[in-house]
Amino acid sequence: MFWWREEVRPGVTVAFTDTDAGNLALHVGDDAGDVMARRARLETASGLGGRSFQYMSQVHGNAVAFIDGTAEAPTADAMVSTGQPLAVMVADCVPVVLAGDGAAGPVLGVAHAGRPGVASGVVPAVVAEMRERGAQDIAAWIGPSICGKCYEVPEALRADVAATVPATWAETSWGTPALDLPAGVRAQLGALGVPVEYSGGCTKDTEALFSYRRQQQTGRFAGLIWTHD
């Protein structure tokens, strides 16, 4: 169920699911009841004690939603909370999970960093929101995503994105233009003084993870963060 899971700070756990957890998205043609049952099993396995993960309606933008208790899925590509468990769904995009220390307890964050989100600054936006909420000593965990050796794009698109985030410029293993979104995210976090504690591997190369580039009709796995006693 969990590709990677770790208590990253006292009372705070970060995890990334795999295909054993099943598809967690409601927007890819799967039966909604089955998806909700999988989400419930995931919450039980995570030990949420009756709480629920907050999901987003992700649109490849840079909007950040502040979550104060379980709510309808906001239309956003990043969320921040001061305790509400958070989830971000991907199948090649970069799932970014963050934690910082606040005056009253942990400040949590997640971001969905696809190509448009990286280019438009969704990662700096979520860090800014966390700091606005009092977070200090923020660290990040980057989940599995498609790597620069596999993410082929047209030359003009590579040039456009790399003009804004130079670290994304890449070449595939077969010698064509590519984008390295995880490298771009790491560069953005580094410029903000946010260390990366974990960085996952390539989704396209890993059968135990969903990958849109490998199989367009596919599910979504999740990056998760939650607090516990």
Residue 45 lies in a domain: yes
Would you tell me how many other CB atoms lie within 10 Å of the CB of residue 151?
24
Q: What residues have CB less than 8 Å from 36, skipping those under 6 apart?
A: none
Residue 134 lies in a domain: yes
pTM: 0.96
Structure tokens given for 102: 């606040």
For residues 8 and 170, give the distance between their C-alpha atoms in angstroms, rounded to a whole number.
31
Residue 99 lies in a domain: yes
Q: Where in the sequence is the domain holding 43, given as residue range(s)?
A: 2-140+194-227
Q: Please tell me the predicted confidence (pLDDT) of residue 58.
A: 97
Residue 145 lies in a domain: no
Ranges of residues in the chain whose predicted pLDDT is under 50: none
Q: In the chain, how long is the greatest CA-to-CA distance?
A: 51
**157-214 pLDDT tens trace:** 999 999 999 999 999 999 999 999 999 999 999 999 999 999 999 999 999 999 999 9
Place of tokens 């709510």: 71
Residue 172 lies in a domain: no
**95-104 pLDDT tens trace:** 999 999 999 9
The number of distinct structural domains making up the chain is 1
For residues 110 and 171, give the distance between their C-alpha atoms in angstroms, rounded to a whole number.
28
Give the CATH number for residue 119: 3.60.140.10
Q: Residue 16: beta bridge partners?
A: 4, 223
